[in-house]
Amino acid sequence: MRNNDKNQEVDLGLRSFIKNLAYMTGGAAFLAGTAPWLTSCTEEKLKEIKKEKARIALIGSGSRGQYHIHNLLDIPHAELVTICDPYKTNLEAALAICPTAKGVDDYRKVLDDPSIDGVIIATPLHLHAKITLDSLLAGKHVFCEKAMARTMDECKSVYDSYVRSDRALYYCMQRMYDQKYITGIKMIKDGLIGDVVGMRCHWFRNADWRRDVPTPDLERWINWRLYKEYSGGLMTELGSHQLEVCNWAAGKIPSKIMGMGDIVFWKDGREVYDSVNVTYRYSDGRKICYESLISNKYNGMEEQILGHKGTMDLSRGVYYLEEDDLIPGMRQLLDQVKTGVFAAVPTAGPSWRPELKSDYVPHPVIKGSVSVNSGQSMVSSDHDGSDEILSAFCQSCITGEKAENVVEEAYYSTLLCLLGNKAMEECATIDFPEEYKIPYMSF
C-alpha cells in the first residue's frame, strides 16, 4: 500500500529545505549562485498550481521507466495517462503498476494526443534525441533520462531546438535536486574547503550489466547498453552524473580530455568498455580523475571535491578538514604510539595534521539521516533527488516555466562523456571542440 500523504511530505520537504536554506544564506542570491534551477520549484510556486494536474505519458517502460511510474503515483500534481512501449512484456508490467493508464506501442500516438501535457522518455540512449526533438516539435514538455544523446551532433541539435522552443525540457540529473549535494556545493562556494584544486570520482560495480533475453533476436534490444550503436557505455550511463557534479563545483568546463578504456573482464561479445580511466583538465590546471569498472565493487561510488583546506565527499554527504580541531594532538599521539606508527615518541616538531585517510573526522553536510548511494543499483537509490526533479517537471508542465540551466548542465556533462569515449578510442589527448561550445560556463 502506498502512502500518498507521506510522500507529499517528502515532496514538500525539499521545497521547505530550499526555502529555509535560501532564507539563511541570502534568499535569491543563494539560488542564483548555487542552484538556479531550484527557483522554479519552491514551496511558494507549488502552491500557485493549486489542485491542477499535469497529464503525463511515459515512453519506455523498462526498469527505470517503472521506477518513474512509482514516483509519479506519489506526486499530487501529476496524472499518468499513457504508457508507451513496443516491447509487450515491459508494457504489461508497467500497466500492472498503473492500470488506469492507456497502453500504446508507438510513441507517435502519444505525440498526436493533444490532451497530454508532457512526456517522460526512458528509452535506450540512441533514441533520446529523436524522441525529444519530435516531442518538442509536437508541443510537449519533455523529461528525458540521461544522457542527452548518443552523439555530439544530436546533443547540439537538441540544445538548439530547446533554445528555440517555449517548452520545458528536463534531464534526470537528480544530484542537482539532492539536498546533500545542494548544501555541499553551497559550502564549497562559501570557501569551507578552500580553493578547489582537483576532483576525484569513481563508480565500481561487480556485475556483467546483462539482462535475461527470452529469444536471441532481442539481444541488442534488451542489452542495448553493451553495444556502441545504442550506448556510450560506462561514461554515459554512470559518468554523466559525476562529471556534472564536478563542473557544478568547479564552475568551469574542462578543455582537454585524455583516457584509456578496455574490456578487461567481461569478454562476452560486448562492444563497450568494462574498465575506463579518463582525466579531464581545466584551463587553470585543475583536473577530474574519473574511473569506473564493473568487475570489482569494493570502492563503490564516490565523488570527492578536493580543496586546499578540506575534502567534500558529496556522494556520502560528509566533508573532512585538513586542519581539524576535533583531532586533539595528544589523543592522536597516543593512538599512533599504540598502533606502532612511531617507533618512538617524538619530543618536538609534529603538527598533528591527519596524514592518513582514516585519521580524518567526517563532518555531516546536513543534519539528520542521509541516504547514501552505494552505486550498486542498476535502477535508482532512495531519496537521491529523482522524485524531486520529476515533481519539478510536472509542475513545469502546468506553469510552462523552464528550469534554469538544467539543459545546459546535461548538455556539457553528456559531451564530456562522449569526448571521454573518443579520447579512449583514439588513445589521444583531445581538445573540447569549439563548434560544440554553448554560452554557458567558461572553459
| pLDDT band for position 219 (cuts 50, 70, 90) | very high
What does CATH list as the number for 192-379+409-436? 3.30.360.10
The amino acid at 100:
T
pLDDT at 346: 40
Domain boundaries, the chain: 4-176+384-403, 192-379+409-436
The pLDDT of 296-318, averaged and rounded, is: 96
pLDDT at 12: 62
| pLDDT band for position 51 (cuts 50, 70, 90) | confident
Look at 260 and 34; give whichever has higher pLDDT: 260
In this predicted model, what pLDDT tens digit does every residue of 376-401 receive, in sequence order?
A: 665 556 678 899 999 999 999 999 99
pLDDT at 44: 80
pLDDT tops 70 at residue 435: yes
The amino acid at 333:
L
Distance CA 313, CA 319 (A): 6
Which pTM was predicted?
0.90
Distance CA 152, CA 414 (A): 8
CA-to-CA separations, 443 to 253, 257, 282, in angstroms, rounded: 5, 13, 7
Q: For the ranges 22-31, 177-186, 238-247, 299-308, which has the lowest average pLDDT?
A: 22-31
In this predicted model, what pLDDT tens digit does every residue of 97-150 receive, in sequence order?
A: 999 999 999 999 999 999 999 999 999 999 999 999 999 999 999 999 999 999
Computed from CA positions of residues 352, 354, 356, 359, in that sequence, does the dihedral angle turn out positive or negative?
positive
Tell me which H or E stretch contains 18: helix 4-25
pLDDT at 337: 53
Cell 573540447 -> residue: 432
CA-to-CA separations, 379 to 65, 99, 421, in angstroms, rounded: 9, 22, 23
The pLDDT of 299-315, averaged and rounded, is: 97
pLDDT tops 70 at residue 159: yes
Asked whether the domain spanning 192-379+409-436 has the same topology as the one spanning 4-176+384-403, the reply is no
Task: Report the side by side order of strands in the sheet with 118-121.
Answer: 102-104, 78-84, 54-59, 118-121, 141-144, 169-171
Give me the percent of the chain exceeding a pLDDT of 90.
76
pLDDT at 5: 47
| pLDDT band for position 275 (cuts 50, 70, 90) | very high
In this predicted model, what pLDDT tens digit does every residue of 328-349 receive, in sequence order?
A: 554 555 465 555 544 444 433 3
pLDDT tops 90 at residue 303: yes
The class level of CATH for 4-176+384-403 reads alpha beta
pLDDT tops 80 at residue 29: no
Look at 52 and 339; give whichever has higher pLDDT: 52
What torsion, rounded to 10 degrees, do the Cα atoms 162, 163, 169, 171 define? 90
pLDDT at 368: 75
Specify whether the CB–CB gap between 174 and 385 falls below 8 A. yes
